[in-house]
Amino acid sequence: MTDATPVVEMRNIKKNFAAVQALRGIDLTLHHNEVLGLVGDNAAGKSTLMKVLSGAYIPDEGEILIEGTKVHMGNPLDARRLGIEMVYQDLAIANNLDVTANVFLGREAVSSQIGPFGVMDGRLMEREAQRLLDRLKIDIPSVRLLVERLSGGQRQAVAIARATAFNSKVIIMDEPTAALSVAAISKVLDLVRELKAQGASIIIISHRLEDIYSVSDRMVVLRHGRKVRDTPVSGDIDTFRESVVAYLIGARNDFAITTD
Amino acid sequence: MSFKDQLKAQTHIFRDYGMYIAFVVIVIFFTITTKGLFISSRNIGNLVNATSYIAVLAVGMTLVIVIRHIDLSVGFLAGTLGAVAAISLKYWLFPVGASIPVTLALGTVAGLITAFLVAQMRIPSFVATLGGWLFYKGTLQLVTVSTGTIIIENKLFNAIGNGYIPDIPIPGFLPGVHKVTLLLGIIAIILFVTSDINNRRKTQAYNFEFLPMNMFIIKEVFISAIIAGITWILSGYQGLSWAAVVLAIVVIFYSYITLKTVTGRHIYAVGGNPEAAELNGISVRKITYLVFGAMGFLTAVAGIL
């Protein structure tokens, strides 16, 4: 896999918020059809790094390459145009709209244009939304259901479905299993595996090491804005957890030489 | 499945149509307490004429409330704009063709000023429009201080507020009944039923859920009966007023925009979750300007009525 061009390559990314150095020079690569687990304690810089990748933050230093081409992203729409989709922790779903409307939010299919108003092609969107849910094996009885009537797991599924709806290259999931029931968590993880089976490249942030262990191919640990571990996920869960915790709390660091 | 079970399965329809049911209950109640006077053609005709400006305001306010704001200033703004229209006709000697567009433009500008305060200055709409309420109250008193009640002689302008649409007299056929109103009502029913049947057929073709046939027929008959009833009552007096025609145009236009267009969908998305809307590339600021601008425009329409 290493010989092919990685789908995402972030080089020496730095980001400061006033006096706080949130990211102190992070390199991160994501290969095609790979699930990358991103872990770290609170304030380690996971979310900041992903916000840089999804265009919400502009890095102070460093460069981002998408499929080998250097890109500049000024806002989330730029990132989306490049095929980077983010599933936000707080879901970013409008509860008063139905499943179809949420999947197509901001990208409604238009059948005709009357002056400044685009007329929506409602049936086309419903059919596409249904097809998408079927393809991802998401269990929601009707695409016409209002999202407020869905369970937490189903809402997460809608948010993930939206991220995959438009031929995205990279899907970033920020804590997709937080605040979900055990049954819902396993469904979301199944969905991640399904996406990988269909060829998606995914970065998944989670506090739950079991989740990372069960779906990821590779794992990156961040601490205090630096990368301290970058390794394939292997071995049994107990040794995996033990070693990760050692990196999380700062007992070990694979990249200690690069410290300034 | 018994009919009762089917009824149970369709309870959300009763929730959706709860307003209509409440409306029918109110009509029946007042008809009984006034011994039938309430439902007389004359009363309904006057009622529609007198309240259409409130209905126009309500249409605009619905969208303002959808995007989680409120506009308290519309009452006095409508009054002020009405006064401006009247003064421009009577004292500045504007023709109606100029007075109405000027009033509508002023209303839109007023709405955009509110939008500026809410979207740009981040002032809560309750506070901003409470200020507007006081401001327009003062303005209304200022502009009418020298004139008092303004009586307009312009026939065309008065017709919009108080006039009725013309009738074609057919000797011997239904004397005392407004034929044009009746005709419009029949057209409305035919349009409603055919478009609903079309819609149902297309939905079936896509294999989506649809109303069972008996419920569908009940719904069609029920709504057609209401339209027919209102039409019959209105045509018994002087027919449809111009104000009601304006109201109908506003309602049809707004429901089309909100239900069928991308803009409408975005308005509802902003109401449901502004952060989510913003993250999905919808400009909350733009939508706020649009909704308050439209509110200002409709306030001007209401002021003219």
User: Quick one: pLDDT at residue B292?
Assistant: 92
- Of residues B41 and B268, more confidence is placed in B268
A174 part of contact set with chain B, CB < 8 Å = no
Q: Do A122 and B271 touch (CB under 8 A)?
A: no
**Which residue of chain A has the CA closest to B261?**
A119
User: Using a CB-CB distance cutoff of 8 angstroms, which residues of chain B are in contact with residue A144?
Assistant: 208-209
Give the confidence band of A260 by pLDDT, cuts at 50, 70, 90: very low
Of B202, B262, B279, the CB nearest to A123: B202
Q: Within 13 Å, how many C-alpha atoms sit on residue A183's CB side?
A: 4
Give the confidence band of A110 by pLDDT, cuts at 50, 70, 90: confident
A145 part of contact set with chain B, CB < 8 Å = no
Q: Do A96 and B206 touch (CB under 8 A)?
A: no
Q: Closest Cα of chain B to A84: distance in Å?
A: 13
Q: Do B261 and A117 touch (CB under 8 A)?
A: yes
Which of A38-52, A243-257, B35-49, B106-120 is modeled with the greatest confidence? B106-120
- The residue range of the domain holding B172 is 3-304
Q: Do B269 and A116 touch (CB under 8 A)?
A: no
User: Quick one: pLDDT at residue A26?
Assistant: 86
Mean pLDDT across chain B: 84
- Residue B269 vs residues B63, B250, B258: alpha-carbon distances, Å: 12, 22, 11
Which of A149-153, B2-6, B119-123, B198-202 is modeled with the greatest confidence? B119-123
User: Quick one: pLDDT at residue A1?
Assistant: 44
Q: Could you give the strand order of the β-sheet that contains A35-40, starting from the edge strand earlier in sequence?
A: A84-87, A170-174, A201-205, A35-40, A218-223, A226-232
Q: Tell me the torsion sign for CA atoms B196, B197, B201, B202.
A: negative
Number of domains in chain B: 1
Phi, psi of A117 (to 5 degrees): -105, 125
For residue A144, give both structure tokens. Answer: 């016409």
Model confidence pLDDT, tens digit, residues A65-97: 888 888 888 888 888 888 888 888 766 788 888
Phi, psi of B169 (to 5 degrees): -75, 125
Q: Do B275 and A144 touch (CB under 8 A)?
A: no
Q: Do A126 and B202 touch (CB under 8 A)?
A: no
Cβ atoms of B215 and A136 closer than 8 Å: no
- Of residues B277 and B295, more confidence is placed in B295
Model confidence pLDDT, tens digit, residues A214-236: 888 888 888 888 888 888 887 77
User: Quick one: pLDDT at residue B128?
Assistant: 92
**What residues contact B164, with CB distance under 8 A and at least 6 apart?**
B178, B238, B239, B240, B241, B242
Exposed/middle/buried for A178, CB within 10 Å: 0-12, 13-18, 19+?
middle
> Residue ranges of the alpha helices (H) in chain B?
3-9, 11-16, 18-33, 41-66, 74-90, 96-115, 125-144, 155-162, 179-205, 213-235, 242-260, 262-272, 274-279, 284-304
Q: Do A95 and B279 touch (CB under 8 A)?
A: no
User: Is 50 exceeded by the pLDDT of residue A33?
Assistant: yes
Q: Closest Cα of chain B to A178: distance in Å?
A: 18
The per-residue DSSP string of chain A comes to: -TTSPPSEEEEEEEEEETTEEEEEEEEEEE-TT-EEEEEE-TTSSHHHHHHHHTTSS--SEEEEEETTEEE--SSHHHHHHTTEEEE-TT----TTSBHHHHHTTT---EEEEETTEEEE-HHHHHHHHHHHHHHTT---S-TTSBGGGS-HHHHHHHHHHHHHTT--SEEEEESTTTT--HHHHHHHHHHHHHHHHTT-EEEEE-S-HHHHHHH-SEEEEEETTEEEEEEE--S-HHHHHHHHHHHHTTS--TTGGG--
User: Quick one: pLDDT at residue B4?
Assistant: 64
User: Is 70 exceeded by the pLDDT of residue B2?
Assistant: no
| Domain at A8-95+167-258, CATH class | alpha beta
Q: Do A93 and B257 touch (CB under 8 A)?
A: no
* CA–CA dist B161, B51 (Å, integer): 11
Neighbours of B287 (CB within 10 A): 24
**Model-level pTM?**
0.80
Model confidence pLDDT, tens digit, residues B58-75: 999 999 999 899 999 998
**Which residue of chain A has the CA closest to B204?**
A123
**Which residue of chain B has the CA closest to A111?**
B261
User: Quick one: pLDDT at residue B208?
Assistant: 64
Q: Closest Cα of chain B to A95: distance in Å?
A: 6
